[in-house]
Amino acid sequence: MTETTAASLTIGQLEAKYPMYCKAMRLLLKEGCTQKQIERTVCWDRLAILHKSLPKSYKSPEYLFWLFRREVEHLKQITC
């Protein structure tokens, strides 16, 4: 992400799209992407910005990765 892009986004805009970033991470996990691959995505960057700006309101992308990974693995077990 370039500095221009990051500077043009407001916290309000990031907060409004928070559910979309979480959904994107879940979809990437369902597709089998690794943490390293997901760390290079826009959703990871935006979640990191939110966490740095408002740490009491938003969890770190690392935490969300493990939380969603556990959720996806649980869903796989149920459907198998």
Compute mean pLDDT per 10 residues along the chain, 80 residues long, and list them.
66 97 97 97 97 97 98 88
Count of domains forming the chain: 1
Predicted local confidence at residue 76, as pLDDT: 86
Is 6 inside any structural domain?
no
Asked, for residue 3, whether it belongs to a domain, the answer is no
In a domain, 16, yes or no: yes
| Cβ–Cβ < 8 Å for 61, 28 | no
In a domain, 46, yes or no: yes
pTM score, whole prediction: 0.86
Whether residue 4 lies inside any domain: the answer is: no
Q: How much is the pLDDT for 53? A: 96
pLDDT of residue 79: 83
